Amino acid sequence: MNAAIVGASGYGGEILVKLLAAHPKVTLKAVTSRSKAGQPVSSVIPAMRGILDDMLFENSDPAELAAREDIDVAVLALPHGAAAEYARHLVDAGKKVIDLSADFRISDPAIYEEFYGSAHPDVELLSRSQYVMPELSDDSWKQKDLFACPGCYPTSILIPLLPLVKAGIASKEHIVANSFSGASGAGKQSKEAFSFCEVNESAKAYGLPKHRHLSEIEEQLSVAAGEKVIIQFNPHLAPMNRGIATTITVPSNGNTIEQLYEEWDKVYANKPFVCILPSDTRPDTKYVVGTNRVDISAVKDDRTGNFVITSAEDNLVKGASGQAIQILNLWQGWEETTGLF
């Protein structure tokens, strides 16, 4: 399959280039970036030396990209708002699109506007898109042309929590999720707040009390529960390059830790990128960075009656680019693990 990566100069785009360049069933035909147009991919992404030496970054014009006959699928690694413009041109031209931005993650345009501060850029196209969490979405999504890839924080929360809420193993109320993300989650920015001296040896909360990813998390939990679910989500910036560690506290509804693990085992049987750890083992970002895996475990606090659930993932792989390729593999009927580990 011939692929293009649109907006490939950021951290997520760089991971996409590395993964798709090595994918045995994909030929990378175009890598675009307005800021890097004309520059060799191997000079901007030195890891591609000797691999993509003859490929240049192209100017990312949506109409020109859509008109190209040598592209079957485009992966968009663009900011919200900008992604919808490209998606419109590409879908109208008969291309398949996997979007890593927030533009098609939220089904309700009013919620999008509430959390992102502007009207949704293409409501008609939104109605034709499909949010895809590979482990949890049913197969009907494969009939669509435009797929929304889940966000990094939502993946770390929804993978362990959503099946439990859906099955009634965990409460739909009084849910608190604390997440710690590496600095790459903010993208490539020259802001003082993300300089080495500000981030190193320091951790702090941000985006309180209404981080943008909260909209996606609550919408997916509400769909699973069949009623409105509201949670407390507290994101933190951690002094590391990559990875997300999440701790979720949720009332157990009187259920046991054995019932929780039985539900996980049922839902994630034969799901290669979800690793269920024993109850006495905590997920660690050190062991998931560079992989498309999310590790999860849980304990029950008998004093409070709460489940305490933990997860760890690579925010750039399972939380973004790797998950996009996982979606591509499933959509094409390839082995889910093709080009990933």
Catalytic residue numbers read 152
Q: What's the CA gap between 45 and 18, in Å, rounded?
A: 9
Cβ(134)–Cβ(328) below 8 Å: no
From the number of C-beta atoms within 10 Å of its C-beta (0-12, 13-18, 19+), residue 105 rates as buried
- Rounded to a whole number of angstroms, the distance between the first and last alpha carbons of the chain is 20
Provide the 10 A C-beta neighbour count for residue 104.
29
Q: Are 181 and 246 in contact (CB under 8 A)?
A: no
DSSP strands (E only) in the chain: 2-6, 27-32, 57-58, 73-76, 96-99, 129-131, 146-148, 175-181, 204-205, 231-237, 244-251, 274-276, 294-301, 306-313
Q: How long, in residues, is the chain?
A: 341
Check if the beta carbon of residue 257 is closer than 8 Å to that of residue 307: yes
| Whole-number Å distance between alpha carbons of 179 and 155 | 11
Rounded Cα–Cα distance for residues 322 and 11 (Å): 12
